[in-house]
Structure 1
Amino acid sequence: MAIQHAKPGEVLEVGPLGDAIAATKTRALLKTESVEVLRLNLPAGKTIAEHKAPGEITVQCIEGRVTFTAMGQSHELTAGKLLYLSAAEPHAVQAQEDSSLLVTIIFGKQ
């Protein structure tokens, strides 16, 4: 079964999940040849080890609190904060609280 992604013109809800955050799975909201948008839901204590994205990324915290480590620095992201990284920049994230992030990956020319 194919993953359902947003269609052009479709409106998606990306607000805080509140108590439903623990029961809501991470999912790709849309994906094209040039961009992918994910809603990443992380329970408190969850760590995503250092990795690289194939393109430039933005990470916007919708709710919760995460520690985002990149470029030799750690940053605390809370609701409303956004971080930008260049393509292939190594980074890691750890959820300090149940958290939801909006991750956008912008792919370079193929």
Structure 2
Amino acid sequence: MALKHAKAMEVVDVSPLGDALRGSKTHAIVKTASFEAIRLILPEGAVLPAHKVPGELTLHCLEGRVEIRTEGRSLELAAGCWIFLEGDQVHSVEGLQDSSLLLTIMLTR
């Protein structure tokens, strides 16, 4: 069964999940030809291995704490922090705490 994606002008709640974070899973919020928004759930100790995406992206940490590693740099995002990455930038993400992030990707054509 496919997950429901948001439609234009539909309000989506991306506030912290609190106690519900532990049982939550990553899910796409919306995807169009040029844009994708995903609620990324990253448990403590989990790692998204090094990868890259063709489009520019942002990560907004909604709750918890993660470490972003790029070639030669390591940055920590805590709740309320936001970062921009250029397209094709190799990066990995590790959950330092149970975390929820808003990932946006500008898709290339």
- Map of 2:92 onto structure 1: 92
TM-superposed CA distance for 1:91, in Å, is 0.2
| Runs of 4+ off more than 4 Å | none
Q: What are the residue-to-residue correspondences of 1:48-59 with 2, within 5 Å?
A: 48-59=48-59
RMSD: 0.9
SS state at 1:20 partner: helix
CA distance in 1 between partners of 2:70 and 2:106 (Å): 18
CA distance in 2 between partners of 1:84 and 1:91 (Å): 12
TM-superposed CA distance for 1:70, in Å, is 1.4
- Which amino acid in 1 is paired with 2:19? D
The count of aligned residue pairs is 109
What TM-score do the two structures reach when normalised by structure 1? 0.95
Residues 6-49 of structure 1: CA distance to partner in whole angstroms, max 9, x if unpaired?
A: 00110000000011101111000000000000000111110111
Q: Does 1:64 align with 2:64?
A: yes
TM-superposed CA distance for 1:3, in Å, is 2.8
CA distance in 1 between partners of 2:2 and 2:77 (Å): 32
Q: What are the residue-to-residue correspondences of 1:38-57 with 2, within 5 Å?
A: 38-57=38-57
Q: Gapped runs of 5+ residues in structure 2?
A: none
Residues 80-104 of structure 1: CA distance to partner in whole angstroms, max 9, x if unpaired?
A: 1111011110000100100001000
- Map of 1:33 onto structure 2: 33
Residues 55-94 of structure 1: CA distance to partner in whole angstroms, max 9, x if unpaired?
A: 1000010000000111411001001111101111000010
- Which amino acid in 2 is paired with 1:80? G
Percent identity over paired residues: 48
CA distance in 1 between partners of 2:13 and 2:53 (Å): 24
Range with greater deviation from structure 2 (96-105 or 63-72): 63-72
